[in-house]
Amino acid sequence: MKDLARIAVAVLHRDGRFLISRRPPGAHLEGMWEFPGGKVGEGEEPVDAVRREVREEVGLDLGADLEVFHREKFDYPDRLLEIYFYLVDDFVGEERAEEGQEIRWVASSELDDYPWPPANRKVLEILKSRF
């Protein structure tokens, strides 16, 4: 039986664009694009994890009011994920690739131009329909 990993993800939105980053070589699903975020630690709430992960990955501090806009369980062959997606347009700082990853701002019409992990398919459809 696979362990369930909880993941908190920030869909950072500014001026009609979304901040995405490329998974590094050697990572699970390397080379694919994703929204900033990561594992929820033991005893940590998803909202606290998304704040921590975004600060660590792209150097941004998220605003006060964060709510999950999409939650999904996804079963990969080697892992089971529960993903909490936060749509965030209230943040401060200048984005930086803190982990050496490639990052860029892209419009919703450009999201399909990038390879994404299968677990992101539903949230991408939601974003394309809303923006």
Looking at domain 4-130, its CATH architecture is Alpha-Beta Complex (3.90)
- pLDDT in the model for residue 27: 85
Band of pLDDT at residue 2, cut at 50, 70 and 90 = confident
Strand partners, 22: 33
- Mind listing the pLDDT tens digit for each residue in 52-72? 999 999 999 999 999 999 999
Q: Where are the beta strands (DSSP E) in 1-131?
A: 4-14, 17-22, 33-34, 37-39, 61-62, 68-75, 80-88, 91-92, 103-107
- pLDDT in the model for residue 74: 96
Tell whether the model's pLDDT for residue 1 goes beyond 90: no
- Mind listing the pLDDT tens digit for each residue in 31-54? 999 999 999 999 999 999 999 999
* Mean pLDDT across 84-112: 97
- Where do the domains of the chain lie? 4-130
The pTM (predicted TM-score) of the whole model is 0.94
* Mean pLDDT across 108-112: 96
Tell whether the model's pLDDT for residue 93 goes beyond 90: yes
Beta-carbon count within 10 A of 110 CB: 13
Q: Which residue has the tokens 């362990």?
A: 3
Tell whether the model's pLDDT for residue 98 goes beyond 90: yes
- Mind listing the pLDDT tens digit for each residue in 6-34? 999 999 999 999 999 999 898 889 999 99
